[in-house]
Structure 1
Amino acid sequence: MFDRTQHSTYVNISKTDPVCTVPPSAASLCFYDIIYGNGSVSAGFFSKEILTLSSSDNINGFLFGCGINQAGIFGDEAGIMDLSQEN
């Protein structure tokens, strides 16, 4: 399971960062929440990290939602990685 506190390259996105498109809140970080078609939900921090696909293939500055609260039909999974493009 990914533990954001154990990664020196992990960064929480600030709510003032241009990539943060959620409505303003009192929090200083950019939060996300999503409801999937099956009713499952995920909420957490909008984040940036180095995504390692292989020993020679890395994506620096990979933006993703790092879930801290999930509910629904995730079963034994700690989370999901959705690589779809949503605009």
Structure 2
Amino acid sequence: MYETDGQRLLKMRAQRLKLRAAMTSGVLTVEGADNTGRVTYRTYPEMRQALRDLDRDIADLATAIGEGSGVRRTRQVVMTGRSGW
């Protein structure tokens, strides 16, 4: 069965939600997006790396099919202020 880019994007987003839920609960095993398989990670940092890779793939696919410009994340926030004294 042929899968469109939109369907792939939905599956990847569902997988991201499942991975985030597993990371929150501390479980190292995650079911696949279509419930056909499962992935067991060795460590939490490995899960974080998989989440970063998945976020990058989702952003690339969303940009390729013209669904926005993807997700932008900042690494540093700088705040400046001026005292009235």
Question: Into which bin does the TM-score normalised by the smaller protein fall?
Answer: under 0.3
> Which has the larger strand fraction?
1
> Which has the larger helix fraction?
2
Q: TM-score normalised to the size of structure 1?
A: 0.21
Instruction: Name which one, 1 or 2, has greater alpha-carbon Rg.
Output: 2
Q: TM-score normalised to the size of structure 2?
A: 0.21
